Amino acid sequence: MPLPDSSILQDINNRLVNEELNYDKDSLIIEHTELLQKLNQDQRMAFDVITESVSSSCGKLIFVHGYGGTGKTFLWKAVTTKLRSEGKIVLAVASSDIAALLLQGGRIAHSRFHIPLKITNESTCNIKQGTFLAELIKKTSLIIWDEAPMTHKHCSEALDKSLRDMLRFTNEVAEHRPFGGMTVVLGGDFRQILPVIPKGKREHIISASIKRSYLWKNFEEYRLTENMRLNSFEGSPEEKAKTTEFANWI
């Protein structure tokens, strides 16, 4: 079977990229305005840093710490609605399918970036130049990766190596910058599930953490500490007191 003409492939790539831009910008602007007003101080600080890095093409690497209930998902929504309302592409992924469902247009990281299941320190993502995914990534302004502490450090390192390789054709210094100079935001809580290492001991699990990656020194860290669920709690005073006690214990 003959290979498709290059112009046909380009047309397919353009149409598929347009799918990532197929948002109602007017409704996103309204939604973003409402979300922005509800951000607390910690969320707003992280929001400003992320959006400024994208708008100025700084290519910052940002890690947002926050245990369950502190509003990481709410922050991701505020960021994505703003950038998508401006016609920018945001790829939102998570380390589990449940977390991915909470993200607008979310996907599992391994699926979105074709990360090998059998990962090593030499692994790269299975993304070939000229494919839809490669062209989509070249047009992407921001990557958000939720629950990042759950994945082995080699997964983010594989994405780093692949982005450096892909983006060097559009940015001559990309191969010398983490993630090719793209703004990348990771989020999660290191007190929850860490990478699962079969038959691994404590030291093996810690060694697999993103904090032990060569990439970690490049990340700016921001913390969410206010439990947003308490602000919207509608139960009895006794139930709220128990929830508050549990949040403080966490």
What does each C-alpha distance from 162 to 4, 17, 128, 228 come to in angstroms?
A: 25, 19, 9, 36
> What per-residue confidence (pLDDT) applies to 247?
66
Confirm whether 102 is domain-assigned.
yes
Could you report the per-residue pLDDT of 89-105, keeping only the tens digit for each? 999 999 988 889 999 89
| pLDDT tens, residue by residue, 146-174 | 999 999 999 999 999 999 999 998 888 99
Q: What is the pLDDT of residue 51?
A: 98
Residue 1 lies in a domain: no
Mapped onto helix, strand or coil, the DSSP state of residue 142 is strand
**Burial (0-12, 13-18, 19+ Cβ within 10 Å), 168:** middle
| Highest mean pLDDT, choosing among 134-138, 213-217, 235-239 | 213-217
117 falls within a domain = yes
Given a cut of 70, is residue 5 above it in pLDDT? no
Nearest to 50 by CA among 221, 179, 201: 221
Quick check: is 154 in a domain?
Answer: yes
Lookup result for tokens 């990340």 = 219
pLDDT in tens, 41-84: 999 999 999 999 999 999 999 999 998 889 999 999 999 999 99
Residue 212 lies in a domain: yes
Q: Would you place residue 115 in the very low, low, confident or very high pLDDT band (cuts 50, 70, 90)?
A: very high
> Pick the residue with more confidence: 237 or 209?
209
> What predicted TM-score, i.e. pTM, was given to this entire model?
0.87
Can you tell me the distance from the alpha carbon of 156 to that of 135, in angstroms, rounded to the nearest whole number?
20
Angle between helices 72-85 and 25-38 (to 10 degrees): 140
Tally of structural domains, the chain:
1
The string of pLDDT tens digits covering residues 78-92 is 999 999 999 999 999
Q: What is the mean pLDDT of residues 202-207?
A: 93
Structural domain contains residue 93: yes
Domain that holds residue 74: 6-249
**Domain harbouring 23, CATH code:** 3.40.50.300
Top pLDDT among 5 and 153 is at 153
Residue 196 lies in a domain: yes
| 77 located within any domain | yes
